[in-house]
Structure 1
């Protein structure tokens, strides 16, 4: 008689009762062993290995004992798998279909002792699928009941488990305040109201030596014990738990726990967070994307971080040294804060000019050219240069591998791979990966920012007049006309404008600026030396030629 090797698999969803001398797993195994014994005349023999999964759900196949069972099946050590009920093996129809397919592949039968069928015949398969469908239905109904219970409990303001937020500890079905931690929470809200910036709050907490308190999560893992991150601060400032509320699927419920933050403070913080909201639009959908983010470095090889600031509805972008980003009060002479539009314009201009002579670029990269393709290459390069001058973001970003900002020049590493792909030129493996380009653009300080100016002193970016300079000219011209008419004097103007007399006098002098300087200001082509500060403070000579020389024009 052929010996048929039988393996018993048992499972229990919860760990409740597993510590008992005779538990559910033992009961299942005893019933299966008795069934195998009843089939001894057919050659059925129980294998000594035990495959028991205690405290594990049937909704997953990631169970240690089940994995061991499947490995033994693949090794050909088992002929029949015996279970007490079908849902002990799996409650998922999809997972069970995978198991049955694996059984069939290994010529292994499956038997349920309480449901009297196996998978060796078509009727057994049909019945099995039907029973399993009901098992899955029962599991889904149970899950719905649990979800409904959680929703009903939260509607009553109960805490339904999980890691409690900082400042609280579990207290049955509610939360109790941990006063030591609650003081940190109150301090965070207060500092944010004072500073209005999460980054500044994080920096200040680090300087003060305030770190996230170490706590033990529900999984037993230690959390905290480190400086607060921006993400942690954002999450903490927007958690409604701190005003005594519990939110569930868009519904707001009054919690049973005590609030740590008062309503007025909470509302002020939420308004400030909404006003300072950043990052909702990025990449191609951003109104003013940072074109060279992650590609700009200073003379020491340190990256410049893309940042922005909003004044009213206007968004100003900069590339800032990391030292200044983490410590805005730093006064390092090497720290850079470059207007983004200017350096992006300089890089775009450099790329476009280089592409005006594509053959020289390819020769610099050591790429041989076929004479019959020169016309096509020139045409492609012309189109590429046009798209760059048209500020095509993706084209510029793909071509630029790295930008280095030096004191008297900027250098750009142009990607040879991207260039060859765009110009439809084969890129030999032994050629260089980038082409160095340089532009004699120097840095000059204007207030806290650093401007990029060309060799003749004109700013790199000259797409529009400076509204501040234009306003100074307008005021100077208007006040001079009033003084000429004799209808008003300097003291009266100063009193009405709420400024001092010397301020009025300095602006009136602008009425005598050289016409070429005025024309340059109105066209936006004035050199960086012509600024609001220089016009107000410079000792302005009467002679126009001397004025032009004074401002380096």
Structure 2
């Protein structure tokens, strides 16, 4: 049955099949290209991100339309908002050692569900569809996981733009090349972003984003009240207080960061 599913997907025949979609959105600067229309020094470069490509809703709609136009049903969509398919994080591996991996639990869960042939809602799934290869991954390790699912478990993964072909040997070889180049593009862009931010920092030019706590909206003028809170907190740390004690104290007093998640201060994570 598995080989037949892959062959039928290769022919574009999804009649009677159940498919799941994967819709990924990345808003990271490091996955975008620096726009050439950014000429203002104060404004800085504008980064084109996944949001400029396709929203998750558009990806879901287009994937559903593609499957239904070929006789299939779209029974579930794995939503992966604000997720990097390239940036690695420090993680603890199953053997207890430390490694650096792209962390995408939704993507990994989708592959495991596909191998079992069952979506989270209990529906049978026969394949996975994405908008294009860039929405699937920019990480060679994750690409190999997807290739394994197709080649050895015989569950098809396809896209709607024609940039992804994991159903044939030639297509898999080309996918490896494309993902390797996309990975390099992300690394190059990240390097340019870091250099741009360093140059702006050295010249005292603020970068985008929410104002830092302790500064006013121009990001150059100290906020007297918030700056005092920071100085007091630093003094307490030097005297031996813990981050958690300071955070708890700030929350009791109603002191919030410039853009608080849920209105509260959280201790730093390491």
The TM-score with structure 2 as length reference comes to 0.58
Partner of 1:108 in structure 2?
155
Partner of 2:198 in structure 1?
151
Give 1:135 deviation, angstroms: 1.7
Local SS of the residue matching 2:114:
helix
Take 2:58 and 2:215, find their aligned partners in 1: how far apart are those partners? 40
Partner of 2:115 in structure 1?
74
Take 1:69 and 1:188, find their aligned partners in 2: how far apart are those partners? 45
Q: 1:149 to 1:37 in 2, by over 3 A?
A: same
Q: Over residues 28-48 of structure 1, what are the superposed CA-to-partner deviations in whole Å (9 max), with x where a residue is unaligned?
A: 2333334334433xxxx1232
Take 2:19 and 2:229, find their aligned partners in 1: how far apart are those partners? 63
Take 2:186 and 2:50, find their aligned partners in 1: how far apart are those partners? 22
Assess if the C-alpha contact under 8 Å between 1:216 and 1:223 holds in 2.
Answer: no
Partner of 1:46 in structure 2?
73
Assess if the C-alpha contact under 8 Å between 2:59 and 2:131 holds in 1.
Answer: yes
Take 1:183 and 1:32, find their aligned partners in 2: how far apart are those partners? 50
Take 2:234 and 2:80, find their aligned partners in 1: how far apart are those partners? 46
Choose from 120, 124, 131 the match for 1:84. 131
Q: Does 1:120 align with 2:133?
A: no
Take 2:183 and 2:108, find their aligned partners in 1: how far apart are those partners? 21
Local SS of the residue matching 1:96:
helix
Local SS of the residue matching 2:27:
coil
What does 1:452-463 correspond to in 2, within 5 Å? none
Give 1:86 deviation, angstroms: 0.3
Q: Does 1:13 align with 2:26?
A: yes
What does 1:16-415 correspond to in 2, within 5 Å? 24-40=55-71, 45-59=72-86, 60-64=102-106, 66-77=107-118, 78-115=125-162, 118-160=165-207, 164=212, 168-179=214-225, 181-182=227-228, 185=231, 215-217=255-257, 220=261, 221-222=264-265
Local SS of the residue matching 1:32:
helix
Q: 1:174 to 1:73 in 2, by over 3 A?
A: same
Assess if the C-alpha contact under 8 Å between 1:214 and 1:222 holds in 2.
Answer: no
Q: 1:68 to 1:94 in 2, by over 3 A?
A: closer
Assess if the C-alpha contact under 8 Å between 2:127 and 2:156 holds in 1.
Answer: yes
Take 1:62 and 1:147, find their aligned partners in 2: how far apart are those partners? 24
Structure ID, larger Rg: 1
The TM-score with structure 1 as length reference comes to 0.31
Q: 1:170 to 1:99 in 2, by over 3 A?
A: farther
Local SS of the residue matching 2:85:
coil
Runs of 5+ unmatched residues, structure 1: 190-197, 204-210, 225-553
Q: Over residues 370-427 of structure 1, what are the superposed CA-to-partner deviations in whole Å (9 max), with x where a residue is unaligned?
A: xxxxxxxxxxxxxxxxxxxxxxxxxxxxxxxxxxxxxxxxxxxxxxxxxxxxxxxxxx
Local SS of the residue matching 1:47:
strand
Take 1:169 and 1:79, find their aligned partners in 2: how far apart are those partners? 53
Backbone CA RMSD of aligned residues: 4.0
Assess if the C-alpha contact under 8 Å between 2:22 and 2:128 holds in 1.
Answer: yes
Runs of 5+ unmatched residues, structure 2: 1-12, 29-47, 87-101, 119-124, 242-248
Take 2:167 and 2:229, find their aligned partners in 1: how far apart are those partners? 68
Take 2:198 and 2:234, find their aligned partners in 1: how far apart are those partners? 31
Take 2:229 and 2:66, find their aligned partners in 1: how far apart are those partners? 65
Take 1:187 and 1:33, find their aligned partners in 2: how far apart are those partners? 52
Q: 1:158 to 1:108 in 2, by over 3 A?
A: same
Q: 1:170 to 1:57 in 2, by over 3 A?
A: farther
Tell me the matched-pair count.
197
Assess if the C-alpha contact under 8 Å between 1:214 and 1:223 holds in 2.
Answer: no
Q: 1:173 to 1:5 in 2, by over 3 A?
A: same
